Structure 1
Amino acid sequence: MSEVKIGNPAVVGLGGFGMTTLILQFHNLGWCGIGPVLWLGFIFGGTAQLIAGMLEFRTGNNFGFCAFSGYGAFWISLCFYVVFGTNADLTSQYGVLKLTGHDLGFFLVVWTIFTAILFIAAMKHHGVLAWIFLTLLLGFLGLDVKELAGSKAIGTLAAWDLIVCALLAWYLMAHVIFAEAGINLPVGKPWIK
């Protein structure tokens, strides 16, 4: 009896991560409203990425399981934060939870620490994954400074950095999809042997 080939859940996880990260930065740069961020955050970046993480569990990939499940939960929690909380930048019509930019800063700090842990592991995989997590870590650090110190200039730099991060995630998604068609996009060597 031959084994049934299963799809690689990373393509959905990377797709959702890249798209929601990209649209949030478009919002952060003032190019679009919050609506597209919430819809994509709840559905593709949140739910679909969370499902991709659960499927990574079935493949035995602890890194993918942790990253996709974790960032799927990040997007869902961030969207709920925006919908039900309020702060200076994001005003909610519901206002169930009174949250400040300072609270958002600490929300982001814990995700920065989470990302730092994954960045260390990413350096053992390959160059593109390491670049994704380096730009994500730098982006989170920038957002931490923006929210906790009120630096809009650092927030703008973080947005541009996170656009690079999102495009790198899509590049890695394309690498996985194209490989099946015999097109090999380079991913580079691990940064740590």
Structure 2
Amino acid sequence: MIPTTPAPVVVKDGIANPAPLGLCAFGMTTVLLNIHNAGFFELNAMILAMGIFYGGLAQVIAGIIEAKKNNTFGLTAFTSYGFFWLSLVALIVMPKLGWAPKASEGAMCAYLGIWGFFTFCLFFGTLKLNRALQFVFGSLTILFALLVWGDATGNESIKHLAGYEGIICGLSAIYTGIAGVLNEVYGREVLPIGAVK
């Protein structure tokens, strides 16, 4: 006999979670830039290449995939920070190519300040997500504030402090990204992220 009531069809989202890619791209690039900010080596091609290809393009790709997954927060965060890295590289490279004058310290304060404000606003979105992301966005807000303070005063000690704080911020993003990978692969919480109840 043919059943008269149709059986429910379960549609599984076949798109992989792009958040670990975006978090690792952000975190690894942030760590490398802030090792420079802390005074360990000069600004060089390694940092600029990471800014273009991993911190920049990989995050934009992650953000586009988040759009396919209907995740507005992920789309906004990853795409924005991907273009942050691309614009930061452009700020450094464009004057060297003679395309535009070098940004003044005041202009850099405005640039870093608006990104800090944006990050602070996104931090409130993390309050509904997990503790690990709260730490990433909270520490990133502090990083931008320190960078603005350092540029506004020209104080190298503050810039070095920002570098150490940025290393912590970047490592927390890497941790959160790797937790996403390992927790999915093992099907259980291998690395805790402090899920919000």
TM-score normalized with structure 2 length: 0.87
Aligned length: 185
1:19 aligns with 2:46: no
1:181 aligns with 2:185: yes
Query: SS at 1:16's partner residue?
Result: helix
Q: Any runs of at least 4 consecutive aligned residues in structure 1 with deviations exceeding 4 A, and if so which?
A: none
Larger radius of gyration: 2
1:31 aligns with 2:40: yes
Aligned equivalents of 1:74, 1:93: Cα separation in 2: 20
Q: Which residue of 2 aligns with 1:40?
A: 50
- 1:95 positional shift: 5.9
- 1:32 positional shift: 2.7
Query: SS at 1:137's partner residue?
Result: helix
- What does 1:55-66 align with in structure 2 at a 5 Å threshold? 55-66=65-76
1:167 aligns with 2:171: yes
Q: Which residue of 1 aligns with 2:63?
A: 53
Aligned equivalents of 2:24, 2:139: Cα separation in 1: 17
User: Identity across aligned pairs (percent)?
Assistant: 35
Aligned equivalents of 1:176, 1:77: Cα separation in 2: 28
- What does 1:143-158 align with in structure 2 at a 5 Å threshold? 143-158=147-162
Unaligned 5+ segments in structure 1 are: 86-91
| Match of residue 83, structure 2, among 37, 62, 73 | 73
Structure 1 letter corresponding to 2:17: N
TM-score normalized with structure 1 length: 0.89
Aligned equivalents of 1:93, 1:181: Cα separation in 2: 45
Is 155-164 or 2-11 further displaced after alignment?
2-11
Unaligned 5+ segments in structure 2 are: 1-8
* Greater relative contact order (CA < 8 Å, ≥ 6 in sequence): 2
CA RMSD, 1 decimal: 1.7
Q: Give deviations 1:136-186, integer Å, cap 9, x for gaps.
A: 000000001011122222222211111111111111111111012225111
